[in-house]
């Protein structure tokens, strides 16, 4: 009698597990392919590229100015027109400018990353909502 109860319990458990496994559906989504085809993503990428180019031109201008100042300082040192105190002050100023450029580059990367997140977040949300809707609709 006990063996019949055990067999019955095991069979009920087995049937319940198999029906639960059959009820689950799995789907695979290549969201990067979906995003690559969306015109919103292409527009966001072009906006980011424009921002990146604008900031990069500003940074290049800063570097060019620093290089010109450095060449001028070298010429003045070679000509002997600067006192040692003035030379030290100019070198300190150029080092400060170099640090400003490095800081600008970091800020530039951060601005581009923040803008990327700002532009793409609604698009990612739209895609995720569509995937969730399809998942709910198809179980």
Residue ranges covered by each domain of the chain: 27-138
Q: What is the dihedral of CA 106, 110, 112, 117, to 10 degrees?
A: 160
Query: How many Cα atoms are found within 13 Å in the side-chain-facing hemisphere of 135?
Result: 12
**Cβ contact 66:98 at 8 Å:** yes
As a whole number of angstroms, the distance between CA 52 and CA 109 comes to 8
Burial 7-27 (b: 16+ CB within 10 A, else e): eeeeeeeeeeeeeeeeeeeee
pLDDT tens, position by position, 28-57 = 777 777 777 788 888 888 999 999 999 999
Tell me, yes or no, if the pTM score tops 0.75: no
Residues 76-117: pLDDT tens digits? 888 888 888 888 898 999 999 999 999 999 999 999 999 989
């Amino acid at each position: 009698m006990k063996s019949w109860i055990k067999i019955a319990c095991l069979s009920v458990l087995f049937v319940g597990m198999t029906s639960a496994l059959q009820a689950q559906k799995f789907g695979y989504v290549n969201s990067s392919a979906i995003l690559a085809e969306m015109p919103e993503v292409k527009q966001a990428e072009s906006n980011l590229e424009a921002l990146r180019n604008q900031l990069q031109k500003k940074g290049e201008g800063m570097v060019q100015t620093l290089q010109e100042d450095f060449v001028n300082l070298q010429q003045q040192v070679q000509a002997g027109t600067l006192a040692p105190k003035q030379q030290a002050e100019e070198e300190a100023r150029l080092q400060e400018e170099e640090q400003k450029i490095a800081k600008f580059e970091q800020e530039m990367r951060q601005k581009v990353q923040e803008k990327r997140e700002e532009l793409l977040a609604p698009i990612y949300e739209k895609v995720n909502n569509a995937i969730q809707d399809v998942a709910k609709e198809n179980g």
